[in-house]
A and B are shown apart, each in its own frame.
Chain A
Amino acid sequence: MKLLTLNFLTCARKTCKSAPSSFPLHPREAELEVVQADVNLAFLKNILPRLMWGELRTITGELGLPTLPDTAPERSALFTAAAAVSETTTPGVDPEAIDAPEHPAPVEEPEETPTQTAIDLHRILLETCIKEGKLVCGNCGHEYAVKEGVANFLLPGHLV
């Protein structure tokens, strides 16, 4: 389960729908893994305004990942024109701290190149996955088990 998905998932119970604390689900006893994927700059630009940055920070904090900057990066900070590839790094995000091999090579696009900020964001959202553990609703306390990266959101009849 990618952290991107976790930034959108809420509790499946009907009674939790109206409660603000049903989002985000809190990971417990989580075992993380990093799955390599290609950087998709256009997707990152698309998804950035929809992210709940505060909740993402809470989740990364709970998972023991390095703290993210206070505010979400600007859309313009994600890419540079191919002519001037600058070495912009986000303060605070240290991708090496995640136990993983080196960065994937930045995708060479004709007009835009992802910056370090984009690569870090990509690493957090799309490459960091919860492999085992559980997700706990902040409102009702229901635990959703995660096994082999697949969360179980089936509710027993009395909870539907």
Chain B
Amino acid sequence: MTQSGQSVEAPMLELRHLSKIYGVDEAKVFALDDVSLTVRKGEFIAVMGPSGSGKSTAMNILGCLDTPTSGHYLLFGTDVTGLDRDQRALLRRYFLGFIFQGFNLLARTTALENVELPLIYQGIPADERRDRAMEALTKVGLQGRADHRPSELSGGQQQRVAIARAIVTKPGLILADEPTGNLDSARGREIMELLVQLNRDEGLSVLMVTHEPDMADYANRIVTFVDGKIQSDRVRDHHAA
């Protein structure tokens, strides 16, 4: 555990001796092997590691998309390990935002409508939805592209729309899975700068999987997975860089 003891406040999320096992008996594979991790509010964490190291599995569990085989996952101090699919869907709806490598926007749907999507499931009335989606698009600098469909936007712009969609619900935590993986490095840097800015200005916690050290440098803490275990967990002096 890497607790600095700086606060009595409950951590934003906490993994306690978490394991995820696929297969049975001899074919057992430990995707995650007794992983413990604590994330505080406002952290920007890069999760690194080779493929098959368990980082994606960890992200899926942290994102309440998957459940661990054993151990506990505490989100905002509450154990969410045993929740069913619908309860996890509600956690995602109200507390989590996702950014994917492939953007995952709805095709043939405008940028604004894409950003509105999570608010629809929150049951927000249409007017308020529109205002909040516009606000989120403005934060990512795409207020002028609200009526464009994903196919009419560049990769970088599509990822900005996805970020707007992730932040529109004002979630506590953003989970980003290789957010720059499909972008050239210049575009990738823009996205990272946007995430850093949102982390700094909006107080958003960000957990980002990446295999690019350049991108991981933007984070203030880097957690590295190898063989289902956390190999290293170091806090960077970000502002000196």
Q: Are A and B a genuine interacting pair, yes or no?
A: no
State the B residues within 8 Å of A (CB): none
State the A residues within 8 Å of B (CB): none
